[in-house]
Structure 1
Amino acid sequence: MRSVLTVLVAWTSLIGGGTALADASDRPALQFRTLAPVAPGVEYREFSLSASHGPAYGHVLRVDLSRSGVSLDLLYPGSVAARSTVSRMAAARGAVAGVNGDFFNITETQHPGVEATGAPVGPSIASGRRLGAAVPNGQRFGPAMPPGVSTRDVIGLGTDYRGRLDRLTLEGTVTANGRTLPLRGLNQYALPVGGIGAYTPSWGSASRLRATCGTDASRGAPCTNDTYELTVRHGKVTAAAHKPGHGAIASGTLVLVGRDAGARELRRLKVGDAVRVEDRLKAAHRGALRFAIGGFPVLRDGRPLSGLDGSTSAVRTAAGLGDDGRLFYLLALDGAADYRTGLTVAELADLMRDLGADDAVNLDGGGSSTLVTRDPDSGRTAVRNHPSGGAERPVANGVGVFVRT
C-alpha cells in the first residue's frame, strides 16, 4: 500500500492547529480542520487545499469496515425512479452518515413532453437485492468518463464486508412461445436500441416512456415511435399497449417494454401467453455484492486512470477504498460561494489517493454533492457541506453508513 504511515498520521493526529499532508509530488498540502467521531469506526473530517482553479474545501468520512457492526448500504427513496434528499434518506434508514451517489436522469429538455424519471445511470444493489441495471454509455449524465470505463462500473461491498470496485452486467432472458430473447434492461431509464427491458414494482410509478428515447450513442436523439409494452402477471400476459405507460406496478407483476426490434418481438405475444423472465447482475469479480452503486473509476491500485479530465473544475463527490477494502472513504466538496471552483477529475483522483484510498470512483457532483452525519447526542441528521444550490438537491440514491451496536 502507498504512504500508509503518512495517511495514518493524518487521520489520527488530534486537531490543535490542524494537520497537513503533502505527497512526494509536491502538490499543495491538505490542511485538516476538524476531527469528529461520528460512531465507533466512523470519523468525519473537514479539509482544505489549494487547487488549480482556486481554494477547495471538503468533507470526508473514514469508515473502518473491519470494526464489528460497521457496514454500508444503498440509500434510495424506496423506488428506483424517484428522488429524495440524502439527509431524509439517511434519517429514514437510521444511517449514521452518508453521501449522495450516482448520476441520474435529472432533465429531459431534449425530449419535449417526456418526463425525467430520476432513475440512476448505473446498476444498484440494496441489501443484497438487485434494483436496476445500467443504461448505455451514450445515455448517461455526468462528465466525460476516461477510456475503458463503463456505466456498468460500481463501487460496493461484498458479502465478506470488504469494499471493492466491480462491473455489473445484466444477463437475462424472456422466454415465450418456444422463443428465448435477450433481456437488455432492468428498471432503467434508457433501453438499448432494439432491446427489451423489464420493469418490476421496484421501479416505482414514473413513466416508462423515457426508456424509448435517445440511442446507445446519443442521449438527445429523438424518441422512437416503434414501441410496445406487455404487462405480465404471475407468468402470463394480461395486457398489451403500443406506448409505454406509467403508474405503480403491482406485486407479482412486471412490465416488458420493447423498442424497435424489441417491440416487434413483443408484438408476437398475446394476452394469455405464458412468459418467463429471468435476470441477474453478473459481477466481473468473484463473490456476491450486498451493496453496489454506480460511479466511474478514477483511481485503481493507487494510480489515477489515464485520460482523466485535468481542466474542468467542479464541486464533486467521491467514494474510495483502502487497506484491501477494509477502509471506505466518502467525500463531498463544499459548494459555498468561496469554494465553488472545486477540483478537476484528475485532482479528485490525486486527493482520494492522498486521503488513503487505493481505488476510487467519481460520483454525482455539482448541486448534488451532499455529505451528512447523525449527531451522536441528539440523533439528528445534519448536512455537513454547503450544497452549491443553496439547499439539498433531491437525488436518486446515496451511500449510507450503518453502525450496529
Structure 2
Amino acid sequence: MRVAPGVEYRSFTLPASHGPARAHLLTVDLRDPRVRLDLLYPGAVAARRTVSAMADAAGAVAAVNGDFFNITETQHPGVEATGASVGPAVASGRQLKAAVPDGQRFGPALPPGTHTPDVFGVGVDRRARLDRLDLHGTVRTEHARLPLGGLNQYALPVGSVGAFTSDWGTVSRLRSVCGTDTDRAAPCSTDTHEVTVRAGRVVATADTPGAGPVGAHETVLVGRESGAQALRKLSVGERVLVRHRLVAADTRVPFRFAVGGYPVLRDGRPLPGLDPLTSAVRSAVGVSDSGYRLHLLALDGAPEFRSGLTIAEVAQLMRELGARDAFSLDGGGSSTLASRDPGAPAVTVRNHPSGGIERPVPNAIGVFADG
C-alpha cells in the first residue's frame, strides 16, 4: 500500500522457529527529495508518549518505535523511573542525549562487540547509516578542566560529572547516580553533589540530585564519587563553562537524526553471537542501496503471532529484504508500527501491540513526506 511518495507499507506472515510470525513493514526511499526521517519524542528526554500520538502531533505519515528505555526501578526503592532512552538521541540536528554505560542498559543482552553508543540514523548528507555517537565534553572552571561523563542520561559512569539541560524535562535526576558501570541494580551512590550553572556562573549547589525543570539558559551538573568531589570545590558566583557534542565515531558525518539500539547485520552478514533461541515480538530497521532505502519492521503481538522471531531470525529476515545493515530497536510491548492512509487525518496502528494497547515510549522513528 502506498502511504505517500516514496513510502510503502505491507504486511506478511512468515514461518519461524517458534511458530508463525506476522511482519509489518514500511519501505522508505530517501532518494525521493520529498521524504525524510526524524526522531519523534514527547518534547523531553525523560518522558513517554505513544507512537501514534507522537506521529500525529508531528505530522508524520508513518512511524515505528525506537530505543530501549528506563522502564522500571524495582531495584532502587524510592527512585523514580525516568522513562529516558538508553542510547544517544538526535532530533532535527539537536543533540538531546548521550548513552548510558553498557551495564546500565535496559533490554536483552547486547551482542558481542556492540555498545550503548551505537545508533541508527540519517546524516546531513541524507544517507542512512549505522555508527556510534560518542560524547565529547568538558567542564572548565577557574581552577580545573573536567571531562564530561554524561548528557541528559538516566545513569552516569562511576566517578563522573554529567550535564542536564532543558531537554531533560522535570523528572528527578536522582536515578543518574544509581547502579554502577557493570551492575544496574547496585545501590545508589551516597557521594553526590549537584551544581546549577546559569549564564556561565554557579548559582546554586546541593548535596543530592534534584528534580524540576532546567532553565533554557541553565545547565545542572551532577557528580558522583570523584566527580562529586570535584564539584564541591565550586562556589556560588564562580565561572564555569560547559561544552558538549556527540561525534560520529566512524564517519564523522553529523547526524540530523539518530536513535539508539544495537546492530544485528553489517555488510550483509549477521553479527557473530546473535541469540538463535530466544524468540520475541521485535522491531528493527534495515538499510540498503548505499543508505537511501530503509526497511522499518515491527512484528505483530496478537496471540497467534506472539512467539515472534529470535534476533538471529530478525537479522536473516532483514538480509532477505535486501538490507546490508540492520539495527534492533525495542521490542515486546513497545513494538508499534503506524502509518496514515492517504487523505486520513491520523495514523493507524498496523500491528497488534503485545500488551493489548500501545505502550508509551520515549522516542520513535518518524517518516515524513511532502505531497
TM-score normalised per structure 1: 0.91
2:208 corresponds to 1:262? no
Question: AA paired with 2:181?
Answer: D
Q: Which string of whole-angstrom CA distances, capped at 9 and with x for unpartnered residues, describes residues 239-292 of structure 1?
A: 000010000111101100000110000000011110000111011113111000
Which consecutive residues of structure 1, in runs of 5 or more, have no partner in the other structure?
A: 1-35
Contact 2:40 2:366 in 1 (8 A): yes
Q: Which string of whole-angstrom CA distances, capped at 9 and with x for unpartnered residues, describes residues 172-191 of structure 1?
A: 00000221000000000000
Contact 2:152 2:167 in 1 (8 A): yes
TM-superposed CA distance for 1:371, in Å, is 0.2
CA distance in 1, matches of 2:323, 2:153: 30
Q: CA RMSD in A?
A: 0.6
Question: AA paired with 1:295?
Answer: G
Contact 2:196 2:204 in 1 (8 A): yes
Q: Choose the corresponding residue for 1:362, options 328, 338, 357.
A: 328
Q: Choose the corresponding residue for 1:402, options 341, 348, 368.
A: 368
TM-superposed CA distance for 1:356, in Å, is 1.5
TM-superposed CA distance for 1:134, in Å, is 0.1
Summarize the alignment of residues 300-315 of structure 1 with structure 2, pairs less than 5 Å apart. 300-315=266-281
2:200 corresponds to 1:235? yes
Q: Choose the corresponding residue for 1:341, options 307, 331, 335.
A: 307
Runs of 4 or more, structure 1, over 4 Å off, are none
Q: Choose the corresponding residue for 1:287, options 243, 253, 257.
A: 253
SS at match of 2:170: coil
Q: Which string of whole-angstrom CA distances, capped at 9 and with x for unpartnered residues, describes residues 10-57 of structure 1?
A: xxxxxxxxxxxxxxxxxxxxxxxxxx1100100001011110011100
2:136 corresponds to 1:171? yes
Q: Which string of whole-angstrom CA distances, capped at 9 and with x for unpartnered residues, describes residues 83-109 of structure 1?
A: 000000000000000000000000000
Q: Choose the corresponding residue for 2:33, options 47, 68, 77.
A: 68
CA distance in 1, matches of 2:12, 2:108: 24
TM-superposed CA distance for 1:363, in Å, is 0.4
Contact 2:3 2:9 in 1 (8 A): yes
SS at match of 2:316: helix
2:266 corresponds to 1:327? no
Which consecutive residues of structure 2, in runs of 5 or more, have no partner in the other structure?
A: none
Per the alignment, residue 55 of structure 2 pairs with 90
Higher relative contact order (CA 8 A, sep 6+): 2
Contact 2:247 2:254 in 1 (8 A): no
CA distance in 2, matches of 1:397, 1:306: 28
Per the alignment, residue 8 of structure 1 pairs with none
Q: Choose the corresponding residue for 1:81, options 46, 71, 76.
A: 46
TM-superposed CA distance for 1:386, in Å, is 0.1
Q: Which string of whole-angstrom CA distances, capped at 9 and with x for unpartnered residues, describes residues 67-121 of structure 1?
A: 1210000000000000000000000000000000000000000000000000000
SS at match of 1:130: strand
Per the alignment, residue 243 of structure 2 pairs with 278
Question: AA paired with 1:372?
Answer: A
Question: AA paired with 2:134?
Answer: T
CA distance in 2, matches of 1:361, 1:274: 42
Task: Compare CA radii of gyration and give the structure with the larger one.
Answer: 1
Contact 2:178 2:186 in 1 (8 A): yes
Q: Choose the corresponding residue for 2:182, options 217, 224, 235.
A: 217
2:358 corresponds to 1:392? yes
SS at match of 1:54: coil
Question: AA paired with 2:56?
Answer: A
CA distance in 1, matches of 2:79, 2:110: 26
Q: Choose the corresponding residue for 1:57, options 1, 12, 22.
A: 22
2:329 corresponds to 1:372? no
CA distance in 1, matches of 2:370, 2:232: 50
CA distance in 2, matches of 1:43, 1:335: 21
SS at match of 2:15: strand
TM-superposed CA distance for 1:233, in Å, is 0.5
Contact 2:336 2:353 in 1 (8 A): yes
TM-superposed CA distance for 1:404, in Å, is 2.0
TM-superposed CA distance for 1:355, in Å, is 1.2
Question: AA paired with 2:203?
Answer: T
CA distance in 2, matches of 1:253, 1:144: 36
TM-superposed CA distance for 1:379, in Å, is 2.1
Per the alignment, residue 111 of structure 1 pairs with 76
Percent identical residues: 65
Per the alignment, residue 123 of structure 1 pairs with 88
CA distance in 1, matches of 2:181, 2:167: 24
Q: Which string of whole-angstrom CA distances, capped at 9 and with x for unpartnered residues, describes residues 204-243 of structure 1?
A: 0010000000000010011011010001100100000001
Contact 2:141 2:239 in 1 (8 A): yes
SS at match of 2:167: helix
